[in-house]
Homo-oligomer: A and B are copies of this chain.
Amino acid sequence: MCPTDPATRPAGPGGDASGSALFTDLYELTMAQAYAAEGMAGRAAFEVYFRKLPARRNFALAAGLAPVLDFLESVRFTADEREYLRRDGRFSEAFLDRLSAFRFTGDVEAVPEGTVVFAGEPILRVEAPIIEAQLVETFVLNQIHVGTVAASKAARVVLAAAGRRVVDFGARRAHGVEAALIVARAAWLAGADGTSNVLAGLRYGIPTYGTMAHSYIQAHAAETEAFERFAALYPGSTLLVDTYDSLEGVRGVIDLKRRLGDGFRVRAVRLDSGDLAALAHQTRRLLDEAGLTEVGIFASSALDEYAIAELIRREAPIDGFGVGTRLAVAEDAPDLDMAYKLVEYDGRPTYKLSSGKVLYPGRKQVWRRTREGRMAGDVIGRAGEIQPGEPLLRPVMSAGERLPAGRASLAEARETARRSLAALPEALRGLEPAPEPYEVRVSEELRACLAALSRAPISNA
């Protein structure tokens, strides 16, 4: 294993942080050209937050900051990209010239990756000349969104597993190579033990795990032959027993012990179909009766936090879980209603009142109080306010340059997550909605500011 700091790696194949400024919604470019034409060069502040938690969730776990900062440091319009825009016909030569010199020169504040966050709380704020802040919207939202979606799901799986091993098996079902890397990274950040994704191992220094596939068993003339060959080559391996019949497979492993004696080094069997709880009990009994008390049971097959909790409720003697598809796509909540909203332009707080989508004006901060080591309520207020508790947003980039807090390693983010999850109030740790949601208050000053602004005749004045 060679841990590498994802925050400082250049984008590679299967790229996470591409640095291509053209990954943007078209309107960002047309608006940017309009700002340029209108001479609007004021500084803008945009904040990222999500509007509400998915139905069955009690919290989210922030992630995705590292690739955002990578992007902001490297974002450029290449000659090919400018040529594409020229042929498009919507853009002037003056604007295209401007794009050739485009750099991100702004400031960023953000909550550290691995921090528990709630609806309405700013996770990240970009402050920059409005053209810059506007052009990076799509990438910033995309990465904070998917990172947070993946880390939030993984945190639930890790909590449900209650100390048993959790390994990300989702590479084949994540939404692309990049998504698989994001999920592996987010799962590790949230406390999983590793991943089957070897590229994620290289990229992020995450421990990699693997067992064997049905195809390996099938390619041999007999299951026992496959077991014997694989075990001989890989002491400490995990043998997949369900290709033809799970308990027959377990008996095949026991038979291998009889034949190999002290040479037997199999560490675990893997169950991958059927009633996993019942099979795990039967498997444990067979193994124990044969004296193989050291051989563990690893389970996979459509697992998620709900399935794991149910297996544990049924006291299934399972030592570790391979969690694939449902983690990889965050199946029960594959998206968050996340936005990147203008809260200040040229020193003036801005807001919006679109039906059901109220936006509080101005630059904000979140303060978190704790009591006896547990989170005890958050306040969202104006950035300059004095409030009790720890402020969550911290400067991570200044004038386009990363600050020390923007260089947190993945190991540090994992530690942040561990501490943040340990501080969750008990009622929020369960899989079902807490009787009372966590208290997140909007400060008096911030409420007053919105009220004052929305009384002012801004719209169609």
User: What residues make up the interface of A, taking CB atoms closer than 8 Å to B?
Assistant: 1-2, 11-16, 18-20, 22-31, 33-35, 37-38, 40, 42, 44, 46, 80-81, 84-85, 87-88, 90, 130, 134, 137-139, 141-143, 145-146, 149-150, 169, 171-180, 182, 196-199, 201-202, 208-219, 221-224, 229-230, 233-234, 237, 242-246, 248-249, 251-252, 255, 272-275, 325-326, 328-331, 334-335, 337-338, 340-342, 345-346, 350-357, 458-461
Contact = CB atoms under 8 A, between A and B. Distances in A.
A84 B202 contact: yes
Given A222-B461, A331-B335, A458-B221, A180 B356 contact: no
Given A2-B87, A23-B180, 14 more contacts: A20-B199, A22-B198, A26-B197, A26-B208, A26-B209, A34-B229, A145-B173, A176-B178, A179-B179, A214-B352, A244-B459, A273-B354, A273-B357, A275-B355
30 contacts: A1-B88, A13-B15, A14-B20, A15-B18, A16-B177, A23-B177, A25-B171, A25-B210, A30-B212, A31-B213, A38-B229, A40-B219, A145-B172, A146-B179, A172-B340, A175-B176, A175-B334, A176-B176, A214-B341, A214-B352, A215-B350, A217-B352, A218-B345, A244-B354, A245-B459, A252-B460, A273-B355, A273-B356, A329-B335, A334-B334
A219 B2 CA distance: 47
Nearest to A334: B329
How many protomers of this protein does the assembly include? 2
Contacts of A1: 87-88
A200 B346 CA distance: 33
B175 A356 contact: no
A47 to B, nearest CB: 11
B354 A199 contact: no
Nearest to A30: B210
A255 B16 CA distance: 46
Given A209-B26, A273-B354, A329-B334, A146 B459 contact: no
A391 to B, nearest CB: 25
A84 B219 contact: no
A29 B198 contact: yes
